[in-house]
A and B are shown apart, each in its own frame.
Chain A
Amino acid sequence: MAPASCALCQNAKAILKRPKTGQQICKECFFFVFETEIHHTITQAALFKPGDRVAIGASGGKDSTVLAYVMKTLNERYNYGLDLYLLSIDEGITGYRDDSLQTVKRNQLQYNMPLKILSYEELYGWTMDAIVSEIGKKNNCTFCGVFRRQALDRGASSLNVDHVVTGHNADDIAETVLMNIMRGDIARLGRCTMICTQGEDTIKRSKPFKYAYEKEIVMYAYFKKLDYFSTECIYSPDAYRGHARTFLKDLEAARPSAIIDIIHSGEAFEVRDDVKATQKPQQTCKRCGYMSSNELCKACTLLEGLERGVANSVITDKARKKLDAMGPAPDNLRTIPIFRSPLPAVSIESSQDQ
């Protein structure tokens, strides 16, 4: 086949077929359109304002590495006026996260951004290695997911940032749409395509790569020679997501626009008010102060189960009953440090310090 020339500049040799549009484009035009689309996603959703302190959730993997690079590039090119930080969570998985954190430490130097690493061990007293040796590989993703979510908020709070951005890409979001449909989780289906989520007192979270295809993120990292880490987590990955992912990749092979089409379908759902109402109102965890839909937040419940030797208490009804039968939590139970909401608390905290 004769090499095609770029559909945009009509000049250089095309090196990539865009999955979203089918356009054949050259390397320089690819860099430009990829970055510009992220810029449009950011400006159309008005994600930031000048002076915002923004943490990039950084795992060392492809998505967050490219996100850090693109955020830095756009912040400089368009004068967003953002203070950017890298925030990494160390789950304590030997041979996986310890290696990927080395990548983040190199990114810190390459991108000249301050890095904060918060570990499960420091926050919860348990590494994922210790949790898996207690509960086995089944269900360990539940612990990891709940703990990571709260750890990111707490890390962000300690950096005193306004906003956390994560590297979730279009493929991830389409997968989540499919999973929520397959689980009948209509309340989550209504939320999962939102670019920015913010609870009443939590730090904003958003996904600038919401419309960025995984293929383009990997190609971008490849052509820019970005330094990223790629190893599967050594503990069993989320099997249900794996099925959704395989299905989605098969769809994409047949029709590349499938990914963006599924996101649009997810965005177009209107969730009836009485379905939304099944969501419990948010309150504050009575033990650690983190937001919660129950008296105790999920992380405190999971931690209590671990500490009292019934770690599956939130997984199975039988174990839950066993934990209830043991009576109230002992006073010397290890707990998570009190969560101070960064937004209203900033002024209170500083006035106390002075």
Chain B
Amino acid sequence: MSTIDLTIEFGGGLELLFGNVRSHAVSLPTRVPASNSTTLSPPVSTTKPADVDYLIHHLRDHVLKERPELFMEGDTVRPGILVLINDTDWELEGEGSYQLCDCDEIVFISTLHGG
């Protein structure tokens, strides 16, 4: 199964939910379940190319260490978390439906911490 390698960065306090580590290397399969389920068994019939929606589920299920409700709400990131895809606002890249490519860098920044 071929995979894509990504660099994930957390900032603005979000890193505290991820073991206080800012930078993570993550590999995803090129095709993933359309349901965004990150448990690979049982085998799924409907798949899609790996996208940011799937990545968010993967991070919550396999990388996050505590308080998932501060990272996700419903099927996406919690309002107030900014996402950048290769240093571009994800709102310009199709948000969760952006199809990931090998070597993409995805940054998540919380705006919710005190100023």
CB within 8 Å of B: which residues of A? 1, 3-4, 13-17, 24, 59, 61-64, 167, 169, 172, 214-215, 217-219, 222-223, 230-233, 237, 245-246, 249-250, 252-253
Given contacts A1-B94, A215-B82, A219-B82, contact A15 B89 (CB under 8 A): yes
Closest Cβ of chain A: how far from B115's Cβ, in Å? Answer: 3
Within 8 A of A (CB), among B34-87: 78-80, 82, 84, 87
Given contacts A1-B92, A1-B94, contact A218 B111 (CB under 8 A): yes
Closest Cβ of chain B: how far from A101's Cβ, in Å? Answer: 14
Given contacts A222-B109, A233-B114, A245-B112, contact A62 B12 (CB under 8 A): yes
Q: Check B87 against A15 for contact (C-beta < 8 Å).
A: yes
Cβ–Cβ < 8 Å partners of A62 in chain B? 12, 111, 113, 115
Additional A-B contact list (20), CB under 8 Å, known A17-B89, A61-B114, A64-B115: A3-B88, A13-B88, A14-B88, A15-B87, A16-B88, A59-B115, A62-B12, A62-B111, A218-B82, A218-B111, A219-B82, A222-B11, A222-B107, A222-B109, A230-B13, A231-B113, A232-B113, A249-B79, A249-B112, A252-B79
Cβ–Cβ < 8 Å partners of A14 in chain B? 88, 92
Closest Cβ of chain B: how far from A173's Cβ, in Å? Answer: 13
Cβ–Cβ < 8 Å partners of A24 in chain B? 92
Cβ–Cβ < 8 Å partners of A59 in chain B? 114-115
CA of A245 to CA of B110, assembled, Å = 13
Cβ–Cβ < 8 Å partners of A16 in chain B? 88-89, 92
Cβ–Cβ < 8 Å partners of B13 in chain A? 230-232
- Answer whether residue B91 sits at the interface, using C-beta atoms and an 8 A cutoff: yes
Q: Check B110 against A230 for contact (C-beta < 8 Å).
A: yes
Cβ–Cβ < 8 Å partners of A249 in chain B? 78-80, 112
Cβ–Cβ < 8 Å partners of A230 in chain B? 11-13, 110, 113-114
CA of A254 to CA of B77, assembled, Å = 14
Q: Which residue of B lies closest to A100 (CB)?
A: B114
Jot down 9 A-B pairs with beta carbons below 8 A, ordered by A.
Answer: A15-B87, A61-B114, A62-B12, A169-B115, A172-B115, A214-B80, A215-B82, A218-B109, A230-B11
CA of A213 to CA of B6, assembled, Å = 30
Q: Which residue of B lies closest to A19 (CB)?
A: B91
Interface string of B82-107 (1 = CB under 8 A from A): 10100111011110001000000001
Cβ–Cβ < 8 Å partners of A252 in chain B? 79
Closest Cβ of chain A: how far from B80's Cβ, in Å? Answer: 4
Closest Cβ of chain B: how far from A219's Cβ, in Å? Answer: 7
Q: Check A253 against B113 for contact (C-beta < 8 Å).
A: no
Q: Check B16 against A214 for contact (C-beta < 8 Å).
A: no
Cβ–Cβ < 8 Å partners of B78 in chain A? 249
Q: Which residue of B lies closest to A232 (CB)?
A: B113
CA of A38 to CA of B115, assembled, Å = 18
Cβ–Cβ < 8 Å partners of B112 in chain A? 245, 249
User: In the complex, which of the residues B93, B109, B114, B115 contacts A1, with contact meaning CB atoms closer than 8 Å?
Assistant: B93
Q: Check B89 against A250 for contact (C-beta < 8 Å).
A: no
Q: Which residue of A lies closest to B78 (CB)?
A: A249
User: In the complex, which of the residues A222, A223, A250 contacts B79, with contact meaning CB atoms closer than 8 Å?
Assistant: A250
